Structure 1
C-alpha cells in the first residue's frame, strides 16, 4: 500500500530533510509540497540537491486537496503551526515539527513561547513524539508533536537514568553544542558566516532556553517529583549535529548498565562501551544517536555524552519514524541510511 504524504513548510531545512528521507521510503509518496513564500517554484530550484527527484511543484497550503492525503508533516514555525493545523481536516494524521504541541500545560507554553496557545483542545490530543518512550501512544495517535532537537538529545541521556533513580536528581548539568541548521533557514544577522565562523558561543544562558520547558515536563513526569536541570546550549560553526555532555552524580557502571537496558532493543540508539565517547561525525545525516559513558576522576561522578544529527534524529528522521508507526509500517522504513563520513 502506498501512503500519500503532504509536507507543509517544505522550503525549510526540516522540510528538505523529510523529502530526502521519504525519497527512499518503500511505501510513501510525496503528493503535495507547500511553501507559501516560494509557491510556484520547483523544489529543485529551492534545493538543488533534490533535483534528481520527481516532486510536485511548491504550492500554498490553501491549494492542497487533503482528501487524498494519508499523513501530513507540518514543518512551520511555532504559532503559525497551531493556526494552520487547526484548519486541517479532523481525520487527517499530522506530525508537527514545531513547538506548538510539545507542552501539555497551556500556561507552560505561554511562559516559554510568549503567547497564549490558540488550540488548547488539540494540545490535549497531541502525543509527545520521543519515539522510544511513547511508541504505543504514537502508533494510535492522530496528532504527534515532534520534540525539540536539543530536548531529544538531553532526554536520550537522562531520561532512563532519572526513571531508574541511579543519579542525583538535584545535581544534573547538561552542556550542549548544536550546529547552525538548528536555528532554521531564515536570514539572521548572527548566523552570517562572518559572525559565526571561527568561534562558538553560549546562548540562552541561565535557564531561558525554550527546550527547558520540555525537560521540566518530561523529567518531572518520569521522576514523579519536580526535576530541574542546569542547561547551557552553545552554537557551533557546523551545519549539522548536536553533542550533549551531561555531568551527573552516580556510579559509571550502573549508569552504563541502565542505558544498555533502556536501549538494548532500540534500532537507532547505540550505547558505546564504557570509556568511549561519540562524535557528531559518526551520526551525520542519519537517524542514529550514539551515547558514551565515562567515569570522572572524582569519585561518584559520571560524564555521559550523546551525539545525533539535529535535522534527522532530532527532527525529520524522528518524524518519519513516528509516521511509520502511525501508518502501520516498519518503524525503520526509509531510515536505515548509514551516516555520511567523512
Structure 2
C-alpha cells in the first residue's frame, strides 16, 4: 500500500523538485498540495513542467484536513510558519520532513538570535534528528519528524565532517567560501534576485550574519566533539542551480594530499550519494542529481576541500526523499537514482 503524502507550500522551487521525485517513487501517492496564495489553481499551472504528469489542485487546508488525507507530510513552509503547524500534524499521527530551519538548531535562544522570532515549539528542539543520512542515519530511521538540512550546510558538513572526526584539522579557524545559484533564494521576487540585478554579477551577502552558520557549527561540533568555529561567506552566482563550496582549514599535523583523500574515501565508501573525486568538481557535475562530489588539496599548509551539489536536490528535495525512505524502511536510493 502506497504511503499517502502531502506537500505544504507546494508553489516553490524545492516543492516542484520534490513532486517530480515523488511521482517516480513506487511507494508514494500524492494526496494533497497546499498553498495559501494561489487559490485552487491546478499545480501544473504554477509549475508547467508538471503538465500531463499530475492533475492535483492547490488547496488551502488546515493541519487537521491535511492529516485526514496523508500519513507523511513534507513541509516546504518558511521558518516559523512550519513550526506553527507541525505539532498538530504530529499529534494527528503524521510523520513530517521539515524543509525549514525550525527544527535544525538545538537551542531556542540561538534560534531566536538568528531568526528573529521566538520558537513556536521550543520543547522539541534538540530532540529532532538532523536529516543528513551520511552522519545520522540511525536517528532518522523510523523518526516521526526529521529536520531537513540547509543546502549550504550540506555542502560544508559533508566536506569537513570526516576530517574533523579523524582529528586531521583544527576545529577553529575554518574558512568556508560558498557560491549558490539564484534558486537558493527561493521563488518569492526580491530586488537582489531580479534578473537585471543578478545577471552578469557575482556578489557576497550576509557576511558573518548568514543563518546557516550556527547550523554548520552545531553539526560539525557534534562530529568533532568540541566547539567548531567557521567564517562562512556565501555568494550569489548568476546561474539557476548548484552550490560550490571551498573550505580552508589547518591540519593538526603534517599530512599528505593522499592521506586526506583516503580519509574522505574511507568515510564515504558505503555512501550511495557522496563521491570522492580526484578532479576539481563543478556544479554541472551534480546538477539534477542527489549526489555530492568532494575533493581535497594541500595548499601552503592548509587543507582545501572543494564540494558541489544541486541545491534543490541533495541540498533540499532529494535529501528529503532520502530521509523519507529511511523513515519508512524503503531502500535509501528509491526514486533518487
Please indicate the TM-score interval, normalised by the length of the shorter structure: over 0.9
Superposition map of 1:1-342 within 5 A = 1-62=1-62, 64-90=65-91, 91-205=93-207, 207-250=208-251, 251=255, 252-273=257-278, 276-296=279-299, 298=300, 300-336=301-337
Tell me how large the CA RMSD over aligned residues is: 1.3
Report if aligned partners of 1:125, 1:143 keep a CA contact under 8 Å in 2.
Answer: no
* Over 4 Å off, 4+ runs: none
Q: For each residue in 1:11-59, what CA deviation from the matched residue of structure 2 results, as whole angstroms up to 9, or x when unmatched?
A: 0111111101111111111111111111300011000011121232110
| Structure 1 position 223, deviation (Å) | 1.8
TM-score (norm. length: structure 2): 0.95
Report if aligned partners of 1:166, 1:254 keep a CA contact under 8 Å in 2.
Answer: no
CA distance in 1, matches of 2:69, 2:236: 41
Distance 1:65 1:74, change over 3 A: closer
Report if aligned partners of 1:98, 1:146 keep a CA contact under 8 Å in 2.
Answer: yes
Q: For each residue in 1:274-300, what CA deviation from the matched residue of structure 2 results, as whole angstroms up to 9, or x when unmatched?
A: xx111100110110000111232x2x2
| Structure 1 position 248, deviation (Å) | 2.0
| Structure 1 position 244, deviation (Å) | 0.2
Report if aligned partners of 2:5, 2:72 keep a CA contact under 8 Å in 1.
Answer: yes
CA distance in 1, matches of 2:306, 2:191: 31
Q: How many residues align?
A: 331
TM-score (norm. length: structure 1): 0.94
Structure 2 residue runs without a partner (length 5+): none
Report if aligned partners of 1:176, 1:234 keep a CA contact under 8 Å in 2.
Answer: yes
Structure 1 residue runs without a partner (length 5+): 337-342
| Structure 1 position 121, deviation (Å) | 2.3
| Structure 1 position 168, deviation (Å) | 2.2
